[in-house]
Chain A
């Protein structure tokens, strides 16, 4: 599945929800299911400090693809991280760096990626892309 297909799939999944609370129930479940980052990897350099919730991101590059694990102290933030990783994990660094994450707006979660939300998610997306850019230069 390519990046667009993965996002379309998520949008379809969200279409069945009638109201906001059902949507968030699903996001919370995703957050609970997300494999947690190893405790020893919750280091300062992997931390993206939001004003309210905090995010840890571990990025690796192997065999031409980026691999991400992440965690947050807030479960809703964590659920949204789960969605972002589902889209961006196992993609080429070039794809990650230039990704248009249109699904976020389509499922109505754009507020979580606004600069004022202060939950560390916007910072995390920036960091994801920066990590990918690093490996584009390594590869070339």
Chain B
């Protein structure tokens, strides 16, 4: 493959491809450390958005005219590119959704339809609300039982407890690959093997992993893998659910409407084949095509080098922050990446975030949609710096100095 030969990793060069990184905020050079919330977009994606709406905009799948056919071809080519990138067997296994949340809700609804009262769903204590609430709703609808595997103080999943909770009653394990708040990398391969051993299916919430490491769903052998476009350098409003074909085939449609049908009469409707069965209505066409472009961009990056760089950034930031009096790093898993969350005794994260913002630094403060995790650590929230491969050690030096200045003002 020619793409393999072209793989590269040069932070300076990569940064040049992201126009949003070259701006000033409150008179300071922007330091963007909120990549866990959303990533910035490379020029390849930005140009594709402009190109699509300037010249190629048409509805897909049903048109007889030139533009419609071209848009359809590009949209389906994007699906294939994603399939190849994540190592899915078929492009039919790639369902376009609105994002990770929508992907998980799809599984909760459609796979949930196959479950019965008393069946168990196992999640972990470090899940995002998007991987908690859909299961609570399913449990309310169908009398299933939600089990939560605990974590230790370092923010690692307690595998002994996880295994204890796993049983023949477990029908689905739904777990995050990387914690958005702690940066913990979960041992998903081991989790998948253990879940399969009792006959449970596994959904991996990949919202925080696909942009940080090489993902191959066939090697992982997960049953579902969900992610959002906007966190992986693509546009907002679109995401992906990967699912194994035989499972997706057995699941009823999620929403009804155009595109997902085979034949409609008032008496009975038959459904379209995969993947269209799960894609009711006109999809986010530009989003799909430009997500394909984001994967074209990603395919050119040496992800192993990128992952190493991000881990170094996190370690570098953590080592310096750790020396500040009263500052506690939240999430000290042995295997962690790209996220540094911290809280400071007697100081509200909101205040630190506000002062960092005025120094041109974008971080996230608050509970990060993981309130149960904040309850576990008994804190109102954290300041979270989350890195992408375009961030630099120089940016971290500036960030650490800005944290120091903020803390001296707030104490």
Contact of B358 among A21, A51, A52 (CB under 8 A): A21
* A53 and B410 contact, CB distance less than 8 A: no
Closest to A119 in B: B350
Q: Is B366 engaged at the interface, CB distance under 8 Å to the other chain?
A: yes
Q: Using an 8 Å CB-CB cutoff, how does the interface string of A7-47 with B read, 1 for contact, 0 for none?
A: 00000000000011100110010000000000000000000
Stretch of A59-67, A71-79, A131-139 lying at the B interface: A71-79
Q: How far is the CA of A25 from the CA of B354 in the complex (A)?
A: 12
Give the number of chain B interface residues (Cβ < 8 Å). Answer: 18
CA distance A118 to B366 in the complex (A): 10
Q: Check if B350 sits within 8 Å of A74, measured CB to CB.
A: yes
- Given A51-B366, A73-B380, the answer on whether A24 and B355 have CB atoms closer than 8 Å is yes
Minimum CB–CB distance from B288 to chain A (whole Å) comes to 28
Query: When the two chains form their complex, are residues A21 and B355 in contact, meaning their CB atoms are under 8 A apart?
Result: yes
> In the complex, what residue of chain B is closest to A27 when comparing beta carbons?
B354
Instruction: Specify which of A21, A52, A73 is in contact with B365 (CB 8 Å cutoff).
Output: A52
Q: Does B100 contact A (CB under 8 A)?
A: no
Contact A75 B366 (CB under 8 A): no
Given A73-B348, A74-B348, the answer on whether A24 and B354 have CB atoms closer than 8 Å is: yes
Instruction: State in angstroms the CA–CA spacing of A77 and B366 once bound together.
Output: 14
B359 proximal to A (CB < 8 A): yes
Kindly list chain B residues whose C-beta atoms are within 8 Å of the C-beta of A119: 350
CB contacts under 8 Å to A, within B368-397, are: 380-381
Q: Is the CB of B381 within 8 A of A52?
A: yes
Could you write out 22 A-B pairs with CB less than 8 Å apart?
A19-B27, A21-B358, A21-B405, A21-B409, A24-B355, A24-B409, A28-B351, A28-B410, A51-B366, A52-B365, A52-B366, A52-B381, A53-B350, A74-B350, A74-B351, A75-B347, A75-B351, A76-B350, A76-B351, A77-B351, A118-B366, A119-B350
